[in-house]
Amino acid sequence: MAHPKIVRNIHPEVSNDILDLPDAENRLLALQTIKAIVAGKTAGSPLENRKSTGDLSDCMKVLFDTRSDIPPRFRIVYRKSNKGVEIVLIEVLAVGERFGLEAYLSAALRLNRSKG
């Protein structure tokens, strides 16, 4: 059986999300992490349908931060779906801080699934 074709999509607002990160080191780490996600070298943890964020149950999160002395402050939210046997879609939806649920709320809004 042939390997499936992988289609990668980055939501148009993700570039602004990255620019909003507080420093150049975390912006670079975000780009490197996204590259690893779409290459299949990094996998995230599943998200859920929560009142506070909306339904992200088909999405994953990857935590990142250049600081190692504190828990990771930032999240990349993406989803991976099989579009038939031959195509896999990896769609990066949002990048943002854990504090205030920023990345999750942006992803839900971009999927038209915001909590209301």
Digit-coded pLDDT (tens) for 15-28: 999 999 999 999 99
For 22, other C-beta atoms within 10 Å of its C-beta total 11
pLDDT at 40: 83
pLDDT in tens, 59-90: 999 999 999 999 999 999 999 877 666 667 78
pLDDT at 108: 92
| pLDDT tops 60 at residue 12 | yes
CB 54 within 8 A of CB 115: yes
Domain range list for the chain: 5-110
CATH code, residues 5-110 = 3.30.2310.20
Task: Name the token pair of 44.
Answer: 């995230």
pLDDT at 87: 65
Please give the share of the chain, as a percent, with pLDDT higher than 90: 61
Tell me phi and psi for residue 17, to 5 degrees: -55, -45
CB 88 within 8 A of CB 7: yes
